[in-house]
Structure 1
């Protein structure tokens, strides 16, 4: 997997700044204040930084001084960051630094800035490139970053949980970016099993077990493919023993042709990202394990491939869910909800969670409604929804609450079964949420998050280059920290 850039932390060494051969980054403020490192660079470059500030350097600006006279560095990156910068401003400074760096090592002179850890997180999140299938081998040694600070051990300690979050986001991005001939249901499961090395308990439920459990809805989606359907359960039990966990459930359709309701050819290559919900769950579980979160969280993902074949489910077929409800399949391209409904039921029956969140690249309709700026949030518990929305806002991940209700559920009435899997074009993302709502047990706070518009984008996002964004890992990690972690008295 793509690993976040390597950081080392050291005391401020003014003499080293002039001899460093990569890129040197310094922080200044818009009113011209410089710390010792910036003043040293300013003297070495005969006042170049002061001239930048006089030229109108504003908070958030990033300027590059290439091949500075008097220094061994190939460039100096001058980042304008106020002393009392917000979290977002500090992360943006790190993002700006990541965009300028190229392939060079960086000496980041962060001094005693109070938000140094947030600068580091922004840098780590943006310093990503998916090169797994390019023949040129990236030079990992050229990606090292040395952080020069007045209290390096403290900055290291404060940064460690943020770097765990970055690694979780990278894991999600890697999964979403992988082509479907590489990320099969089997190789996806193998990557999750390997996370036992970082302390997760991982169990894989194979097709025979899924059939025994009665997961007819999930199995109907994958029956046209040669790739076996699976459910992978990841446990992180870092909270109080016996305390009800938070359940995270992800849709993992490793490739979605639409099945017999075949999608148009144009754009079908993007359906490698239809396992984005499972990717977010996996990345979040990785982050929680790496930072040793004091919470009980169960991550469950349904892994299938939706292919047309002589064995594939047909429009008009009736399948039976694990809950026992019969489902008329009107459109085989509305398959994600069939996967999720069985995994959600299993999660509740097996773990009796305190709350449950499902994530899925579920509908194109949510993109029509919210574009690529916000995920759609649907919930049976407004208080729980507000907690998530607060966490998403705090982490800069766009989310917007959408309605649910009986009128939308009525669109799913079937003539021949208990329910049908689509409710027509009107309010498509809401009727999809109402289909899932049917499988939420009374008393379980639940959130459904439709990430179809935010999981992978054609342009850069706040913290990621175009492609897989890793959206959701930061927000879910924050929600766990705010609402589900054991507090020390």
Structure 2
């Protein structure tokens, strides 16, 4: 797993600022107000900080942005970074400031003179998330990250607030690592082994092998992986931090470790990105890691279906009919609409075995959701307003874009089959909605359920505020927040 930058919180000591090496960070108010820390730095650098703050360049900076004063006279550091931020910022502004620090710092030693700044813990979360770098497959050894020291007036208090945030960051990193891994390394066996290793954190982990899935009747899931040498699996992760006997929330993830499209082969251009088609399972794994690391007072079960969709002589063909664990038959129109076959069986298994209080599934399910929403919002579908609204509120709080789309009964006719109970795709029209309608058939009417189509948000070609190019870990923060709000408040 990626090793994050070590972050410490210490009592502020302005007497040693002049001798600090690496980079020093100070925070200046929107109108140029200098706090005690900034005034000390300003005196040491002969007024250079105040001159910059009074300049047009500072006036043009946005909240949360930073600028460097390189090699300031009278100081041992390489640079003083000036961050424009009010004393009591919102959480997203504080995270943005932390991300600005990480982006400019590289691996350098950091001394962050936060003093009495509110939301210092949120700044540290932004710093940690943006400092992520997936470079384990590069031959050139990367420079290890130096320690980042937050100098604050109440270090114990800030550290206590930042502790759960560090667990969230670990969960996001775990998800990003999984999504970024190439498929020759992250096989279904390797994925399952990484999840099994989380038993050390207190999770109960169970791996269902192909023989187990056959006994359960998971014909839909097994049909996806039958053309691959990698065995299909379902991994069950249980966290029992809530009241004994209380029904858990179930999180279900699509884990297609590589998707060629099967016999309905994808175009070659861009197929390399299909290493991310296990993104839903990656998010579920990241959330479960976070819950265990922060010792959540909730009952949550995470289930992921792990398969590889490959074409060979044993692969499922277009026109085949498969039987799901529920007993419904499915005509496979397109073998590239495989994720819903995986989720169908795992959703049914989750509600039959665990009788959860609600189910939320995540999947990089459709390219159509990218056409509709781009890369800023995940598609949200639900049969239950209360659970859906709670998730939407959590996503907004954590700054993770989500947009609810319709789930009307009129779309059902698009997945009617002539020869089976349903077909696995309704064609191009309303592609994300018909995929959701397919999944809904494997969710009992009385079961609160949310489907999250994260095809556009799981991996980005460009950097975002809190992540470099590549896997984002979208959903870990929102789901952790939802669990806090619903089960721990």
TM exceeding 0.5: yes
Give the TM bin, normalised by the shorter chain. over 0.9
Residue 98 of structure 1, CA deviation:
0.8
Give 1:198 shift. Answer: 1.1
**Residue 53 of structure 1: CA displacement?**
1.0
* Superposed displacement of residue 143, structure 1: 2.9
CA contact (8 A) 1:232 1:302 kept: yes
Partner residue in 2 for 1:3? 3
Partner of 1:124: 128
User: What CA distance in whole angstroms lies between the structure 1 residues aligned with 2:9 and 2:388?
Assistant: 39
Scaled by the length of structure 2, the TM-score of the pair is 0.98
Output one character per residue of 1:385-406: Cα deviation in whole Å (capped at 9) or x when no partner: 1111111011100000000122
Alignment of 1:106 with 2:110, yes or no, is yes
Q: Which residue of 2 aligns with 1:50?
A: 50
**Does residue 110 of structure 2 align to residue 94 of structure 1?**
no
Q: Which residue of 2 aligns with 1:226?
A: 229
Secondary structure, aligned partner of 1:255 = strand
**How far apart, in 2, do the equivalents of 1:102 and 1:359 lie?**
33
- Of 166, 171, 189 in structure 1, the residue corresponding to residue 169 of structure 2 is 166
Corresponding position of 1:272: 275
Match of 1:175?
178
Say whether 1:338 aligns with 2:338.
Answer: no
Aligned equivalents of 2:434, 2:8: Cα separation in 1: 50
Q: How does 1:79-90 map to 2 (within 5 A)?
A: 79-90=83-94
Q: Which residue of 2 aligns with 1:398?
A: 401
Q: CA RMSD in A?
A: 0.9
By how many angstroms is 1:261 displaced?
Answer: 0.2
Report the CA distance between 1:16 and its aligned residue. 2.1
Worse-superposed segment, 125-134 or 1-10 = 1-10
1: distance between equivalents of 2:9 and 2:275?
38
Which position in structure 1 is the counterpart of 2:239? 236
In the other structure, the counterpart of 1:386 is 389
CA distance in 2, matches of 1:42, 1:423: 65
Larger deviation, residues 211-220 vs 40-49: 40-49
Shift of 1:60: 2.6
Is residue 2:75 matched to residue 1:74?
no
Gaps of 5+ in 2: none
- Tell me which residue corresponds to 2:187: 184
- Whether the 8 Å CA contact 1:384–1:445 is kept in 2: the answer is yes
What is the CA–CA distance in structure 2 between the aligned matches of 1:193 and 1:20, rounded to whole Å?
A: 43
8 A contact 2:65–2:96 mirrored in 1: no
For the residues of structure 2 that align with 1:401 and 1:30, how far apart are their CA atoms? 35
- Residue 415 of structure 2 aligns to a residue in which SS? coil
CA distance in 2, matches of 1:180, 1:150: 47
Q: Is the partner of 2:283 in helix, strand or coil?
A: helix
Q: Does residue 462 of structure 2 align to residue 459 of structure 1?
A: yes
**What's 1:318 paired with?**
321
Say if 1:3 and 1:167, in contact at 8 Å, map to a contact too: no
1:35 aligns with 35
TM-aligned CA deviation for residue 230 of structure 1: 0.4
Preserved CA contact (<8 Å) 1:245 1:298: yes
Contact 1:457 1:468 in 2 (8 A): yes
Tell me, in whole angstroms, the C-alpha distance in 2 between the residues paired with 1:69 and 1:303.
57
Q: SS at 2:437's partner residue?
A: helix
Using the TM superposition, name which of 341-350 and 129-138 deviates more.
129-138
Q: CA deviation at 1:61?
A: 3.0
* TM-score w.r.t. length of structure 1: 0.98
Q: Distance in 1 between matches of 2:43 and 2:273?
A: 51
Deviation for aligned residue 1:84: 2.5
CA distance in 2, matches of 1:480, 1:147: 29
Q: 1:17 and 2:17 equivalent? A: yes
- Alpha-carbon contact 1:116-1:155 (below 8 Å) kept: yes
Q: Is the 8 A contact 1:378 1:433 kept in 2?
A: yes
Question: Secondary structure of the equivalent of 1:143?
Answer: coil
- Name which of 284, 298, 310 aligns with 2:301: 298
Query: Could you tell me which residue of structure 1 aligns to residue 373 of structure 2?
Result: 370
CA contact 1:4–1:163 (8 Å) conserved in 2: no
Q: Distance between the aligned counterparts of 2:127 and 2:53, measured in 1? A: 23
Distance in 1 (CA, whole Å) between partners of 2:146 and 2:340 is 41
Query: 3-state SS of the aligned residue for 1:100?
Result: helix
